[in-house]
Chain A
Amino acid sequence: MSTEVKNAPALDAKRLVIRKMNKHYGTFHAVKDLDIEVEPGEFLVLLGPSGCGKSTALRMIAGLEEITSGEVIMGDRDVTHILPKYRDIAMVFQSYALYPHKTVAENIGFPLKVAGIPPEQREKSVHDAAAQVQMETLLERYPRELSGGQRQRVALARAIIRRPSAFLMDEPLSNLDAKLRGFMRAELKHMQHELGVTTIYVTHDQIEAMTLAHRVAIMRDGVLQQLGTPAEVYTNPANLFVAGFMGSPPMNFVEGGVNNDVLTFGDNKINLSAAPEGENVTLGFRPEDATVVKAGEGRFDAKVYTAEMTGDLTLVTMRLGKSMMTVKMPKDFMVDFDELVGIEFPSDLAYLFTTKDGARLSATVA
């Protein structure tokens, strides 16, 4: 697993090692044997659909959830069984968890206050932290007087003020509207780069994961599916789930049986090489890799279901049997409802998986 951490880590940034971490709630196995090593100063994103155990994993790292088995090591210290307050971490919650009865300044200064640092010393730190998130003019406001983005900044300032060994962020941008989210995303990335603090970030939004992360860890049903740089997981997905989860619109899939290196679905046939004989196989290709061509000229034909102009391009959705597939076409592309068209894609950009367990196949499209 070669990792390239692009920003220089801060001097005191810590390596965070999660080893064989498990969580059971009664009979429910929420997190299964999670193994992740986060490099000092790395920005790691835990990605997955809701209920996949990513938040639970984060809360276990924070110490807010008991670890059923396994260990968490920060730097050279085993923190598996110590209280959150002794772990030297800062956490940004989805709800921000700003205390409504405290002003912005009091909220930001809270970690220092509980550490017993006298007010005069606190004041400067609070001001510096607030300045870092451009909130220094609003220090006397209460959280309810702030917009969503401003609250988000206060939460960040509260996290950075005591220079923790690690940041933990639980879907911090999910309460913002789309425009602000994009903006805050950029700021967050810049800030993490400047501070160089080891960061674990939980989200269900794959665009956030792609844009923010040095490495992405994709989870499903408590199991780590793939760990790699955003480019790796996008271009070289380890299995059907990862392939389907990354990308928007998602990868298109067709499913059929293999006979003599020929994949058959409906009336269509596609030639493969080195495919497992007699098994059901799923073929996937990305919307941006395919093109819509005249009927009969592509690898197979399908009927147009709808076409959507998004501004910079046109999304053409076609129906084939039960499955839908989407292709990105130039913005001036015209097509009619229910028109029969062909779909073409290059053979080296097609992915093959077993239908049964979604494992990636080494077979290729001929």
Chain B
Amino acid sequence: MTSTTRRVENGQPGTGPAGHDHPLSRSARMNEWIDGHARQLFIMPAVIMILIFSIFPLVASLIIAFSRIRLKAGGYQVRFVGFQNFSKQIFGSEQFHFLGTFTTLSILGWVVGLAASGSIAWWMYRYVRQQFSIVGFIGRLITAFVGLALAWMFAATFFSGNQFGTLGVTLFYVFVGCGLQFLIGLGLAFLCSQPIRGRNAFRVMFFIPMMITPIGVGYIFRMLADTTKGPFAPVWQWVGLGDFTWATDPWAARIFIIVGDSWQWIPFIFIILLAAFENIPRDYVEAGEVDGASNWQIFKEISWPQVMPVAVTVMLIRVIEGFKIVDLPNIMTSGGPGIATESMSLHSLFAWRSLDLGQSAAIAYLLLFVTVVICVSFFNLVVVNRMRQS
């Protein structure tokens, strides 16, 4: 179906309710017009909405990110400042906040940084030797550049015993958090795809956390984690951590947020992977059983390859949403202790609260940049590769 257009020509039978010679009534003409332009009318609302509420703000944000905005009576004043907002985050006075505290690199830092650089260089070298296309090369160059930058960032902060900034925290949430959620979600889905009793009850029960508002989840976990009045207070006392507070230990606080995030998001991964497991044709598994495969072999050789394409896409979605994390750290720890649990979204939100709109937009754009590079790299290097294979 390329076009459903039917033009009205007078004198031809069946052209419309108005008959042969009379001009068409207004409503009939209107219908004809709608019919003729249906192709455009179907897609235009979505395009216009996205242009107005997504692309326009995106461009505006870009302009804000390059400006300094000062509020004045009855409005605001915009002054173009170039890359100042960005350089402040990356090299200037906000560096500790965004990237982390840099001192001299420790030996471990050097080792990790050099190892990462080496493997990225090797990866690029292999690509250039094996196949080469301009677009692919530029894309990989960007990936490699971002990868190198992130590797040295971690080498100089985390591996050298220093605090890392909101970028590091966000990546920690995304990679450690989403990785953990994936493993648990996959495990639960596999368990629930076995012939067990009460499968539906488990399925419904495991889905509940998805229905609760993220900020509610934040408060619930804040309640639970209270070391003096929460339900686990006796446990804390018993372990001898009765006077422990989340506000003092950065790693405990980060893990605490990942636990809350996992509680909310594992259901999503679980429910889709369970459907994927149940969707594997029974014949495949039965053929494996007849051919003598053990349960582990059936999982490894038959079920997992069938589920993998779904798993990759679910992870892509989860990572995209994971980069946006803001409600949980905001509610559970307000980004504390210090900036230990502050994600980039939260960082940007805090900058907005202090009315520093330029900084806020710059951080948001940096987040967008990192998200896009990582997601596009993941998509091109993993998803597309897999599609080419199958």
Residues A45-91 near B (CB distance < 8 A): 62-64, 83-87, 89-91
- Asked if B293 CB lies within 8 Å of chain A CBs, one says yes
- Using Cβ atoms and an 8 Å threshold, which residues of chain B touch A83? 289
Residues A91-136 near B (CB distance < 8 A): 91, 93-95, 97, 99-102, 110-111, 113-115
Q: Which residue of B lies closest to A95 (CB)?
A: B283
Q: Which residue of A lies closest to B284 (CB)?
A: A97
- Using Cβ atoms and an 8 Å threshold, which residues of chain A touch B306? 100-101
- Asked if B77 CB lies within 8 Å of chain A CBs, one says no
- Asked if A158 CB lies within 8 Å of chain B CBs, one says yes
- Using Cβ atoms and an 8 Å threshold, which residues of chain B touch A86? 292
- Using Cβ atoms and an 8 Å threshold, which residues of chain A touch B297? 114
Decide: A97 near B292, CB < 8 A? Known: A64-B286, A91-B287, A110-B301: no
- Asked if B230 CB lies within 8 Å of chain A CBs, one says no
Residues B288-331 near A (CB distance < 8 A): 288-294, 297, 301-302, 305-306
- Asked if B45 CB lies within 8 Å of chain A CBs, one says no
- Asked if B390 CB lies within 8 Å of chain A CBs, one says yes
Residues B81-103 near A (CB distance < 8 A): none
Q: Which residue of A lies closest to B293 (CB)?
A: A114
Q: Do the beta carbons of A93 and B283 come within 8 Å of each other?
A: yes
Q: What's the nearest-Cβ distance from chain B to residue A72, in Å? A: 14
- Asked if B281 CB lies within 8 Å of chain A CBs, one says yes
- Using Cβ atoms and an 8 Å threshold, which residues of chain A touch B286? 62, 64, 84, 91, 93, 97
Q: Do the beta carbons of B288 and A114 come within 8 Å of each other?
A: yes
Complex partner residue of B287 from A63, A97, A101, CB under 8 angstroms: A97
Decide: A85 near B289, CB < 8 A? Known: A99-B305, A101-B305, A101-B306: yes
Per-position 1/0 for B176-197, Cβ under 8 A of A? 0000000000000000000000
Q: What's the nearest-Cβ distance from chain A to residue B296, in Å? A: 10
Residues B181-215 near A (CB distance < 8 A): none
- Using Cβ atoms and an 8 Å threshold, which residues of chain A touch B293? 85, 110, 114
Per-position 1/0 for A342-358, Cβ under 8 A of B? 00000000000000000
- Using Cβ atoms and an 8 Å threshold, which residues of chain A touch B284? 97, 99
* Bound-complex Cα distance A91 to B305 (A): 22
- Using Cβ atoms and an 8 Å threshold, which residues of chain B touch A95? 281, 283
Q: Do the beta carbons of B292 and A114 come within 8 Å of each other?
A: yes
Count how many chain A residues have C-beta atoms less than 8 Å from C-beta atoms of the other chain. Answer: 28
- Using Cβ atoms and an 8 Å threshold, which residues of chain A touch B305? 99, 101-102
- Using Cβ atoms and an 8 Å threshold, which residues of chain B touch A87? 290
Select the residue from B291, B293, B305 with max chain A CB neighbours within 10 A. B291
Complex partner residue of A90 from B290, B302, B390, CB under 8 angstroms: B290
Per-position 1/0 for B359-390, Cβ under 8 A of A? 00000000000000000000000000000001
Select the residue from B281, B286, B290, B293 with max chain A CB neighbours within 10 A. B290
* Bound-complex Cα distance A94 to B281 (A): 12
* Bound-complex Cα distance A110 to B290 (A): 11
Q: What's the nearest-Cβ distance from chain A to residue B381, in Å? A: 19
Decide: A85 near B302, CB < 8 A? Known: A97-B284, A97-B286: no
Q: What's the nearest-Cβ distance from chain B to residue A162, in Å? A: 8
Complex partner residue of B290 from A62, A99, A101, A115, CB under 8 angstroms: A62
* Bound-complex Cα distance A102 to B305 (A): 9
Complex partner residue of B291 from A64, A101, A114, A168, CB under 8 angstroms: A114
Q: What's the nearest-Cβ distance from chain B to residue A255, in Å? A: 43
Decide: A85 near B290, CB < 8 A? Known: A101-B305, A101-B306, A110-B301: yes
* Bound-complex Cα distance A353 to B284 (A): 45
- Using Cβ atoms and an 8 Å threshold, which residues of chain B touch A85? 289-294
Q: Do the beta carbons of A101 and B289 come within 8 Å of each other?
A: no
Per-position 1/0 for A145-177, Cβ under 8 A of B? 000000000000010001000001000000000
Residues B271-291 near A (CB distance < 8 A): 281, 283-284, 286-291
* Bound-complex Cα distance A85 to B288 (A): 8
- Using Cβ atoms and an 8 Å threshold, which residues of chain A touch B292? 85-86, 111, 114-115, 162
Select the residue from A62, A84, A168 with max chain B CB neighbours within 10 A. A84
Q: What's the nearest-Cβ distance from chain B to residue A296, in Å? A: 58
- Using Cβ atoms and an 8 Å threshold, which residues of chain B touch A101? 305-306, 390
* Bound-complex Cα distance A13 to B192 (A): 40
Q: Do the beta carbons of B288 and A91 come within 8 Å of each other?
A: no
Q: Do the beta carbons of A110 and B289 come within 8 Å of each other?
A: no
Q: What's the nearest-Cβ distance from chain B to residue A149, in Å? A: 19
* Bound-complex Cα distance A114 to B281 (A): 20
Select the residue from A95, A110, A113 with max chain B CB neighbours within 10 A. A110
Q: Do the beta carbons of B289 and A90 come within 8 Å of each other?
A: no
Q: Which residue of B lies closest to A65 (CB)?
A: B286
Q: What's the nearest-Cβ distance from chain B to residue A212, in Å? A: 21
Select the residue from A85, A91, A168 with max chain B CB neighbours within 10 A. A85
Q: What's the nearest-Cβ distance from chain A to residue B306, in Å? A: 7
Q: Do the beta carbons of B291 and A158 come within 8 Å of each other?
A: yes
Question: Can you give 17 contacting A-B residue pairs, CB < 8 Å?
Answer: A63-B289, A64-B289, A64-B290, A83-B289, A90-B290, A93-B286, A97-B281, A97-B286, A100-B306, A101-B305, A110-B301, A113-B301, A114-B291, A114-B292, A114-B293, A158-B287, A158-B291
Which 9 A-B pairs give the minimum distances between C-beta atoms? A97-B283, A97-B287, A85-B292, A114-B293, A101-B305, A111-B291, A91-B290, A84-B289, A84-B290
- Known contacts A95-B281, A99-B284, A115-B292, then 7 further A-B pairs from the complex at CB < 8 Å, ordered by chain A residue: A84-B286, A91-B287, A93-B286, A114-B288, A114-B301, A142-B390, A158-B287
